[in-house]
Structure 1
Amino acid sequence: MKIILLGAPGAGKGTQAQFIMKNSVFLKFQPVICSVQQLKRALNLVSRLKR
């Protein structure tokens, strides 16, 4: 099962994703992919590579 949460910045998408993961029998072992976290990791990697 795939669930996509959409909303404005600060709307609580990450919080809701964690809540759904904890309380859903079907999603217990599925990863949560957060685009903001992925973007931050990429930016950190780029900034480290520039140094």
Structure 2
Amino acid sequence: MIRLFAPCPKFIPLLAVFIISCSLPLAISDDTDTDREALLCFKSQISDPN
């Protein structure tokens, strides 16, 4: 008998990660301007090697 759904258990966690990563920008977009500025400042401090 052929197993058609054998790769599905491996596929489900990948699908969950994809859905979460796509929903994060939607959650961030409702923030205020000061929250966005703080996030940009934090990102720039992380990426700055000095």
- TM-score band by shorter chain is 0.3 to 0.5
Higher helix share: 2
In the superposition, the TM-score normalised over structure 2's length comes to 0.35
In the superposition, the TM-score normalised over structure 1's length comes to 0.35
Greater relative contact order (Cα < 8 A, sep 6+): 1
Larger Rg: 2
